[in-house]
Structure 1
Amino acid sequence: MFAKYRRVSLIVRILIGLVIGSLLGVLVPTWTGIGLLGQLFVGALKGIAPVMVFFLIMAAVSAYKSGSQNHFGSVVVMYLAATLLSAFAAVGASWLFPVHLVLPQAAKVAGGAPQSLAKVISDLLTNAVGNPLAAIVDANYLSILFWALMIGFALRLASAQTRQVVNEVSHAVTSVAQLIIEFAPFGITGLIYTTISETGFAGVAKYGQLVLVLVGTMAFVYLVVYPAMVWAMTRQNPYPLTFWTLKVSGIPAFFTRSSAVNIPINLKASADLGLNEESYSVSIPLGGSANSGGAAITVSVMTLAACATLGIQVSFPLALILCVLTALAATGASGIAGGSLLIIPMAASLFGISNDIAMQVVGIGFIIGVIQDSVETAVNSASDLLFTATAEYHDAMKKGQPVDIKAAVARANGKDKVAPAKAALEPAE
């Protein structure tokens, strides 16, 4: 039965779970047992994600071979450029379509926020060197990244057998994560059921304009800005790859709402494209925390919406500082659902907005999170795959190797029987 279940596309299963959860939320809103499915799914994701990221990066770095073609520099440049350009796009959208919020006094979110750029940098450095075991328990991805890199580099001096054990453990943990994702339709049924039964379909309607600006900006960035970056790097039509990454990575990430737990899907998609494993085994996990264009959009739009609500005039220089600041802070955003929202008070402090008001904006973010965070995660996760592929194609073309992006995508879709290892860098017949 499980084999038959897996034969159906994960995307189709997720959509079915979405429909069933919505219907049950309307018809039988008191069946709390259905919501338990969502709680179990989210709990499993949060539990496995930090462990998976730690072992994936550690194993990838320990197996790194000096002089290998890993395309790491190009990937990092694209990640950083995409995050900064996303922040610029968000500022432009906020100026074109100013949003006025209803700031509910009841919106309370515990926790403080850094109030200056120096504090942001200080917190990032402090978090990075935190206890590695505590980092895994608390899902502190910046610290996980730091220690995984450090231990991975140290393991390069270990024996081949030791590195092989680490690699096998990494594969085992990834397999567990992939198994959990197979049950995503059941978890999504529970999550959607809980949302509909508690808030109804009108639960996020009063913040519709804010949702439209956020989603519209993210769509513009992924469908216009990112393709332009791909074209600049490859001089080929970027849309076959853009739409394919959105389908295979963006849609699952939309429902899991976690870039970190979507890593196995991106790793498999990279293999389907025929990319270099030495490259994507590092760049994909890294993108789960370092590539955060969607987070930069969320922080910028919601901060400027608060400014518009309070009648604060935002000058161009201050907006420019906001873009750089949010791009920097977004790279340290957590890889779990809602991780970008807690950056908002830090960004709001640039405009003299009190922490109490900023936390009310964060509260609104959690209210609309069922849409905002889902789209944000889809953009972040799909672009990890998009930029990993683009960086490899760019570096291959610089060396004079023929690349046909459209053909590579067709082969990844199973339309061609060419071996996956050759699919990316072979010209179309």
Structure 2
Amino acid sequence: MLKRWFEIALWKRVLGALVLGIIVGSLWGKGAESISLIGEIFLRLIRMVIVPLIFLTLISGVIAMGDPKKLGSIGIRTLSMYIGTTAVAITIGLIVATIISPGVGVDISGATPKETSDAKSLADILRGIIPENPIQAFADANVLAVIFFSLLFGIGILLAGEKGKPMANVFDSGAEVIIKVTGIVMEFAPFGVFALIAKVTGTQGVAALLGVVPFALSFVIAVLLQIFLVHGAIISFLLKLPPVRFFKGILDAQMVAFSTSSSSATLPVTISVAEHNLGIKPTIAGSVLPLGSTINMDGTAIYVGIAAIFSAQVFGIDLSFADYLLIAFSTTLVSIGTAGIPSASLFLLAAVLEPIGITPDNTALIVGFLFAFDRPLDMLRTVVNITGDLSVSSAVAKWEGELDEETFKAQPVE
């Protein structure tokens, strides 16, 4: 019986728990609050992994940039393009969310409006990014300080050269371990989602769940703009290549990305379509694409940006222009270390929500609420990420003289 349970894909189990939670909550009413402890345990598990996940995967991501194949002009162009497209993605997400206002009127069970941490000036926030005591930053879950220290530590490992390799191996191993730990936490998701949704439905009615619709709509619109407007423009105007042919050529990789929700799992297919359908030489495909699966997270940037606006609106926080800049800055930084696994983006929300004053408890509530509906959005996030990987690799290949344009313009290999 237990074996059959684990053979079912996690997203299917979560979806089933969501439906069951709605039914139980509707029938049980306020009595569903009696199982809220299960949901609270799930939220605590989420909070438990956030800081170590950011720390270990971010250092691992920085170390990945140090591969000699990724340095020089290829590395500079690749990093510039990846960071640039991520910055555009977060901007699009913020603009769309500001226009649609997905969090206005949404009532999340257990959320306390205005329950935020002490407001800080931009100067205080920027000052606080540099931790006086890194250990204290971990204890306080000061996510921006953890990010800063992680980036600095990763760069230090690279600069140490050969002597830094043992430490690099430790953090690569640590990143794999924390991803597995995160996977264990996610296995508890069906039970946590069931309890959380049952409580919401029982105390507020099914209508309370419709609050996710404007959020999802905002995300889908931003995703389409990023894929067709931004990456289409890169292919058409920057590279002077046919965008229709580009999108036909990468369809296989997009479909695998959509089904697996994992940039890492899609990598073999991504490299294959890059070489056979787009005419990208192996020297570029073999270096730019693995790096992209680690640091290029356009979909994550869009999602986290919209989630930040959504959260601020749920808790009645008025965002200033400085807050928008802070969201964009922190999202761009944290996307470097996003693990290429399903739903990893949700666990990084704390990096963006904490600086704008949302407490860890309320952050966990947002994560718990969105997790129940995350799978289809995560599938779209991965499609955006893979599209960006192939768009950037096409650009770098052309600039380096490593792109076979005849192959690019030919019919895709079936």
Determine what percentage of the aligned residue pairs are the same residue. 10
What is the rounded CA distance, in whole Å, between the counterparts of 1:52 and 1:114 in structure 2? 29
User: Which structure 2 residues correspond to residues 24-63 of structure 1 after superposition, within 5 A?
Assistant: 25=21, 42=46, 46=50, 49-50=53-54, 52-63=56-67
Quickly say closer, same or farther: Cα 1:232–1:135, change in 2 above 3 A. farther
Instruction: Indicate if the aligned counterparts of 1:240 and 1:405 stay in contact, CA closer than 8 A.
Output: no
Instruction: Indicate if the aligned counterparts of 1:54 and 1:145 stay in contact, CA closer than 8 A.
Output: yes
**2:83 paired residue among 76, 79, 101:** 76
Deviation of the 1:218 alpha carbon: 0.3
- Find out whether 1:16 has 2:16 as its counterpart: no
Query: What's the counterpart of residue 281 of structure 2?
Result: none
**1:269 paired residue among 266, 271, 278:** 266
Quickly say closer, same or farther: Cα 1:42–1:272, change in 2 above 3 A. farther
- The AA in structure 2 aligned to 1:75 is Y
Aligned length: 372
Instruction: Indicate if the aligned counterparts of 1:41 and 1:180 stay in contact, CA closer than 8 A.
Output: no
TM-score (structure 2 length as normaliser)? 0.64
**1:88 paired residue among 95, 101, 123:** 95
**2:304 paired residue among 286, 295, 299:** 295
What is the rounded CA distance, in whole Å, between the counterparts of 1:346 and 1:50 in structure 2? 15
**1:150 paired residue among 124, 134, 155:** 155
- The gaps in structure 2 that reach 5 residues or longer are 237-242, 272-283, 339-344
What is the rounded CA distance, in whole Å, between the counterparts of 1:283 and 1:208 in structure 2? 35
Query: What's the counterpart of residue 229 of structure 2?
Result: 228
- Find out whether 1:279 has 2:279 as its counterpart: no
- The AA in structure 1 aligned to 2:96 is A
Instruction: Indicate if the aligned counterparts of 2:346 and 2:367 stay in contact, CA closer than 8 A.
Output: no
- The AA in structure 1 aligned to 2:10 is I
- The AA in structure 1 aligned to 2:134 is N
TM-score (structure 1 length as normaliser)? 0.63
User: Which structure 2 residues correspond to residues 301-316 of structure 1 after superposition, within 5 A?
Assistant: 301=310, 303=312
What is the rounded CA distance, in whole Å, between the counterparts of 1:52 and 1:297 in structure 2? 25
CA-based RMSD of the aligned residues comes to 5.4
What is the rounded CA distance, in whole Å, between the counterparts of 2:120 and 2:248 in structure 1? 42
Instruction: Indicate if the aligned counterparts of 1:292 and 1:330 stay in contact, CA closer than 8 A.
Output: yes
Q: Deviations over 1:191-221 (max 9, x none)?
A: 3333244334786844456422221010111
- The AA in structure 2 aligned to 1:194 is A
User: Which structure 2 residues correspond to residues 182-197 of structure 1 after superposition, within 5 A?
Assistant: 186-197=187-198
**1:402 paired residue among 401, 404, 411:** 404
Greater RCO, CA 8 A, separation 6+ = 2
- The AA in structure 2 aligned to 1:13 is A
Match of 2:394, SS state, is helix
Instruction: Indicate if the aligned counterparts of 2:61 and 2:294 stay in contact, CA closer than 8 A.
Output: yes
Which shifted more, 366-375 or 214-223? Answer: 366-375
Instruction: Indicate if the aligned counterparts of 1:84 and 1:324 stay in contact, CA closer than 8 A.
Output: no
Instruction: Indicate if the aligned counterparts of 1:72 and 1:279 stay in contact, CA closer than 8 A.
Output: no
Deviation of the 1:89 alpha carbon: 1.9
